[in-house]
Copies of this chain bind each other. A is one copy, B any other.
Amino acid sequence: MNVTGHTRRPASIRDVATAAGVSYQTVSRVINDHPSVKQSTRERVLAAIDELGFRRNASALALASGRSRAVTVLTANTTHYGYASILQGIEEAARAASYAVGIGVLESADEAAVAAEVERAADAGGGLIVIAYDPAGVRALGAVPAELPVVGVVETPAGPPGGDRPWVWTDDREAGYEATRHLLSLGHETVHHVAIPSSTRRTSARTAGWQQALREAGAPEPRPVQGRWGPAGGHAAGLGLAADPAVTAILCGNDDLAVGVLRALHECGRSVPGDVSIAGFDDAPHSAYLTPSLTTVRLDFTGLGRAAFALLHGVVEESAQIAPHPVSVPALVVRESSGPPPVRP
């Protein structure tokens, strides 16, 4: 609450200049740490800056200098663990490079809605990072005008999504493969699968890895159950699988789904891992503390976010280029929820 009551407009460098008895250019030199300013002058200007509460106008800076030092993240979700962690990684790296971080949520995968959101993000200026793990994200990545600097966080590097845009990725296919191999190695005849909503109309990379492992092992390939996001989706899908006594192992598209599946099995009186083994993806913070604790595949989302920013930074600043490769190998974490199948009667 200032005493004057009405909000006066903030001080500009010219205000500071007159207050300090110098030209605006000298003020500009001071705030930019230009060497050739006399010490006494510098102090006078700094005093004026402090007194007037001068704050450099970001818009004017961006307009005049051309560089915006901003990145906007487009994502379909901000609350799911994986998405939130990627965002966190991006923010970390951006902060270190003193970039501003903006977010835009793709609430619907609808063509027009996505286009509008991309437009908004583009208007914000600066670079773009699009999390293209789902249809909305993939569509958004495709809708980004060609002249804008953009990096995609994608599920699979090959294939149409992303076009010729730079991208980063985690090896979700490998993760799915590893997890499935683990379950098969315990003696399960096959592994059922509750899939996350996929980025393409076909199947997610995780699902593809699962399929590959089954095929290599010569195991039967049950049809994957399409889950919605979140524990509720897992629960719904799990109720169906729990009713089938032939199901002894379930690979869940992420840990959230796994929570729902665990609950569904519990409700149907099937024990984990006694009757059914469960594995998830992501190693969310609570997964280790569930009962039973969850076997899962850990993916370095935060590192992925950092890599995405680093890549964008390289593109925008046209300096060091970073090779777009998987930033980390997925790590299988075996816990209580997976074990050998029940002995056949």
Q: Which residues of A contact B (CB under 8 A)?
A: 1-2, 7, 9-10, 53, 55-60, 62-63, 66, 68, 72, 78-79, 81, 84-85, 87-88, 91-92, 95, 98, 100-105, 107, 117, 120, 122-125, 145-147, 164, 230-232, 234-235, 256, 259-260, 262-263, 266, 285-286, 288-291, 293
Which of chain B's residues have a CB closer than 8 A to the CB of A285? 230-232, 256
A104 contact from B2, B53, B95, B290, Cβ within 8 A: B95
> How near does chain B come to A129, taking the closest CB pair, in angstroms?
13
CA distance A288 to B263 in the complex (A): 9
Q: What is the total number of copies of this protein in its complex? A: 2
Bound Cα distance from A104 to B104, whole angstroms? 15
Distance in angstroms between the alpha carbons of A75 and B95 in the assembled complex: 13
Question: Which residues from chain B contact A147 at a C-beta distance below 8 Å?
Answer: 2, 7, 10, 53
6 nearest A-B residue pairs (beta carbon)? A59-B62, A263-B289, A231-B289, A59-B63, A59-B59, A79-B84
Query: Are B1 and A164 touching (Cβ within 8 A)?
Result: yes
Contacts of A260 in B (CB 8 A): 286, 289
> A26 to chain B: closest CB distance in Å?
21
Bound-state Cα–Cα, A132 to B286, Å = 24
With CB as the reference atom, state the residue of chain B lying closest to A255: B286
Which residues from chain B contact A262 at a C-beta distance below 8 Å?
Answer: 289, 291
Are B120 and A91 neighbours in the complex by a CB distance under 8 Å? no
Rounded to whole Å, the gap between the CB of A142 and the closest CB of chain B is: 14
Q: With CB as the reference atom, state the residue of chain B lying closest to A267.
A: B291
Query: Contact at B125–A57, with CB atoms within 8 Å?
Result: yes
Q: Contact: A91 with B105, CB < 8 Å?
A: yes
Given contacts A2-B146, A105-B91, A291-B262, contact A55 B123 (CB under 8 A): yes
Question: Smallest distance from the beta carbon of A272 to chain B beta carbons, Å?
Answer: 10
- Given A88-B78, A120-B98, A290-B290, is A103 in contact with B105 using a C-beta cutoff of 8 Å? no
Q: In the bound complex, what is the Cα–Cα distance between A288 and B9 (angstroms)? A: 51
On whether the beta carbons of B102 and A102 are closer than 8 Å, the reply is yes
CA distance A70 to B259 in the complex (A): 38
Taken together as a complex, chains A and B put the C-alpha atoms of A100 and B123 apart, in Å, by: 9
User: What separation, in Å, do the CA atoms of A146 and B7 have in the docked complex?
Assistant: 11
